[in-house]
Structure 1
Amino acid sequence: MTTKNTSGPLAGIKVLELGTLIAGPFCARMLAEFGAEVIKVESPDGGDPIRKWRVLKDGTSLWWSVQSRNKKSLTLNMKHAQGREIARKLALEADIIIENYRPGVLEKWDLGYEQLKAVDASTIMVRLSGFGQTGPMKDLPGFGAIGESMGGLRYVSGHADRPPVRVGVSIGDSVAALHGVIGAMMALRHRDATGGKLKGEGQMVDVALYESVFNLMESLVPEFDHAGVVRERTGGSLPGIVPSNTYTTKDGENIVIAGNGDAIFKRLVLAMGRIDLAGNPELERNDGRVKHTQMIDDAIQAWCDTQTIDSALDVLKAADVPAGKIYSVRDMMTDPQFLARDMFEQHQFADGTPVKLPAISPKLSATPGHTKWLGPTLGQHNDEVLRSLGYSADAIAAMKQDGVL
């Protein structure tokens, strides 16, 4: 039986987070969840703006409790020379630096990749920005919404007769963050293979939000380049893969049915009582079904019109057809699958108020992620971090007096 190590697979790895809001902090959050020591530098003037986003408790965002769990908060005034000096010391100590300022900002602070690399060749820096560190757009502001638009996701999202829609979360930032995590792990592996922290070769991981979204766009490019096909908005369906769509049951619930495998399609239509469709040779393969997409969707919707969500799911489960209700968070919180997989963690705020957080993913059998504490108060770890750099209590007090912290 495998013994779980709750210190995490990244125990001993030091990470410096220089950035705000979503992409950089989400990238650092995942490293913190799996054991890395993450020091998040925040402005003394209010800290990361996400502290005030969406639903608040006692003036602080509930999102903050997730986005910054396991991180240490250090306030530094980066307009102050001593603030920049402390940040530089931390950067040269860190195994990984994560930043999401506009290109050029860190260079002004003597914290750019090349500037740090000149001192420590093992420096690994993950740079997340709207458009990357090069190119004619590199200096422009680029939020996730712009990355989603330029990367192609917004264009294909929604219904053909309406303007494009956004996904209901900041998907562009989050996808970029995941690319940052992957890049950081690959860079760390390369550094370890070439001599480790003391002698190994570091590198810069250049993550552009629009490119991260673009990386998800499947066959978009070769379809256009080879066949002149521009993928358009198709509502709830998956174009060219039939049937895969969203349907409505008679009790008003939405159900996704993915009957696009050849054998699955046959099981689906037989479960619906449509022997005629099951025996139609034109529908045996996906390329044939694509020509009859509307007819097939109409047939499935007609069947759903006779079913409740529960009865439809029961029939499709028995037929081994992939199908699912579209969940709200209310559905998730009581769902047996979510509960069996321990997808919620029970914690409490400093005042004792209980709160559930999403559990950490992915699940590792031997070294799983672990929530040690919720998002910290602003500057909560100032003394701890500065003492670790050798600053005395008097020096720390003086920095507070001088507006460094």
Structure 2
Amino acid sequence: MKSENRGALSDIRVIELGQLIAGPFCGQLLGDMGAEVIKVEPPVMGDPMRDWGHGEAKLWWEVVARNKLSVSANLRVPEGQSIVRRLVEHADILIENFKPGTMEKWGLGPDALHAINPRLIIVRVSGYGQTGPYASRAGFGGIGEAMGGWRAIVGDADRPPSRMGVSIGDSLAATYGCMGALAALHARERTGKGQIVDSALYEAVLQVMESLVPEYVVSGHVRQRSGSVLAGIAPSNVYPCSDGEYLIGANQDAVFARLCAAMGEPGLAQDPRYATHLARGERQAELDARIADWTRTLTVEAVEAAMIAHSVPAGRIFGAADMLADPHFAAREALVEVDSPRWGTFAMQNSFPFLSETPGSIRTLAPATVGADNHRVYRDLLGMEEAELERLRTGGAI
């Protein structure tokens, strides 16, 4: 598949050295926005993400490697490192998510790369950042989620901390790395110089922890795990219906009054026990039980109709099948179909957010083989002759 590239970053070239999730997801975001992303993979085996996923078909690679070219280079040997230096001459952004110090060990640290291309923006994603006493430690997404405060407050109070069903720590760090790269591109317009974007997993998680730290400093409050609710925010929960579950969020006074009307109990909104935000929070479990007594007498469809009629924020709990069948997903093209020689036609998430004038897009499938674009990139961009390519192949550098 190929489509016109109207993306905002269509004039930007990215070299992606990272593997697994955090680095490659940053590359995916930039590629979706139009950048040419040249992914450098280890020869033969490639990025481990090629074999990741759930179920019989491992499709994670198809999402995280879309809109990318694949070249192979062994970064542990001088010839492979030399290839990266040559690529950097033609690049705007380089992404890496190796353990801090690894790039320097390979002679590919920021000083060396900026000596080649002073305009280069280097996105470095790591567990703990490039500095500080923990910088040299190995770090994965779950560790960043724990250190950043996420795991401590997710799950039920009487059970160990839970995790989300997705790698949120990695994805957040990648997203902040992408955001930093975009800011650095803008700064480069003024200064003419590139810079380093240092995105740490634990800091990306910390950034979305709202007022967790200030609450502790000012009032000594320690947030606790509270299952499906936020303590003191009521009503906002998943409620049982006769044929499933339904999420309702009506914690604001006026919205709560509309929920009460939908339940056929308009006077409940003036009841001193529930009339204010603080009062509802103090009786959260009691109020949730009362709402559940109503919802369980109705189907999901009936509860949804009542919520829509009374303008109460609410929604179904969506799985993949629900998304594929939903008219809003279809109208917004939130899911798009791609045609793969290996997997046939299947759907995946589109490029977000939507830009009105320079929209992102899925233009090409994930590279099917490691080094699928070696000839195109090494010959056409770097000017390598066939004899040099053969020498590098024979020597194991590509």
Under TM normalisation by the shorter chain, which class is it? over 0.9
**Mapping of residues 112-123 of structure 1, within 5 Å:** 112-123=109-120
Aligned with residue 198 of structure 2, among 199, 202, 206: 206
Secondary structure class of the residue paired with 1:345: strand
Structure 1 equivalent of residue 60 of structure 2: 63
Structure 1 equivalent of residue 237 of structure 2: 245
Residues of 2 paired with 1:255 and 1:297: CA distance? 13
301 and 207 in structure 1: CA distance in 2 versus 1, 3 angstrom threshold? same
Residue pair 2:88, 2:117 contacting (<8 A) in 1 also: no
Structure 2 equivalent of residue 143 of structure 1: 140
Secondary structure class of the residue paired with 1:118: helix
Structure 1 equivalent of residue 37 of structure 2: 38
Matched, 1:50 2:49: yes
Residues of 2 paired with 1:249 and 1:346: CA distance? 33
* RMSD (CA atoms): 1.6
Residue pair 1:77, 1:83 contacting (<8 A) in 2 also: yes
Aligned with residue 366 of structure 1, among 357, 372, 375: 357
Q: TM-score, normalised on structure 2?
A: 0.95
Residue pair 1:243, 1:258 contacting (<8 A) in 2 also: yes
Residues of 1 paired with 2:343 and 2:253: CA distance? 54
**Mapping of residues 170-189 of structure 1, within 5 Å:** 170-189=167-186
Residues of 1 paired with 2:287 and 2:8: CA distance? 48
Residues of 2 paired with 1:305 and 1:338: CA distance? 27
Aligned with residue 386 of structure 1, among 370, 378, 395: 378
Structure 2 equivalent of residue 322 of structure 1: 313
Residue pair 2:67, 2:364 contacting (<8 A) in 1 also: yes
Kindly provide the CA deviation profile for residues 247-288 of structure 1, in whole angstroms up to 9, marking residues without a partner as x: 11122x121110011100111112112234222245333122
Structure 1 equivalent of residue 159 of structure 2: 162
Kindly provide the CA deviation profile for residues 225-248 of structure 1, in whole angstroms up to 9, marking residues without a partner as x: 111111001111122222111111
Residues of 2 paired with 1:337 and 1:149: CA distance? 35
Q: Which amino acid counterpart does residue 233 of structure 2 have in structure 1?
A: I
Secondary structure class of the residue paired with 2:89: helix
Kindly provide the CA deviation profile for residues 336-359 of structure 1, in whole angstroms up to 9, marking residues without a partner as x: 111111122222222572222221
Matched, 1:219 2:211: yes
Secondary structure class of the residue paired with 1:404: coil
Structure 1 equivalent of residue 324 of structure 2: 333
Residue pair 1:126, 1:184 contacting (<8 A) in 2 also: yes
Residues of 1 paired with 2:291 and 2:114: CA distance? 60
Structure 2 equivalent of residue 197 of structure 1: none
Residues of 1 paired with 2:8 and 2:37: CA distance? 14
Matched, 1:133 2:130: yes
Kindly provide the CA deviation profile for residues 278-318 of structure 1, in whole angstroms up to 9, marking residues without a partner as x: 22245333122212212211111111121111111111111
Which stretch shifts more, 273-282 or 158-167? 273-282
Matched, 1:84 2:81: yes
Residues of 2 paired with 1:310 and 1:141: CA distance? 48
Give structure 2 stretches of 5+ with no counterpart. none
Residues of 1 paired with 2:202 and 2:313: CA distance? 32
Residues of 1 paired with 2:207 and 2:314: CA distance? 27
Matched, 1:347 2:344: no
Which stretch shifts more, 344-353 or 291-300? 344-353
Displaced runs of 4+ in structure 1, greater than 4 A? Answer: none
Residues of 2 paired with 1:381 and 1:259: CA distance? 53
Query: Size of the alignment, in residue pairs?
Result: 394
- Residue 5 of structure 1, CA deviation: 7.2
Kindly provide the CA deviation profile for residues 76-107 of structure 1, in whole angstroms up to 9, marking residues without a partner as x: 01122111001111123210111000000000
Matched, 1:401 2:394: yes
73 and 242 in structure 1: CA distance in 2 versus 1, 3 angstrom threshold? same
Secondary structure class of the residue paired with 2:186: helix
Structure 2 equivalent of residue 230 of structure 1: 222
Residue pair 1:5, 1:367 contacting (<8 A) in 2 also: no
Q: TM-score, normalised on structure 1?
A: 0.94
Residue pair 1:32, 1:70 contacting (<8 A) in 2 also: yes
Residues of 2 paired with 1:12 and 1:93: CA distance? 12
- Residue 61 of structure 1, CA deviation: 3.1
- Residue 135 of structure 1, CA deviation: 1.1
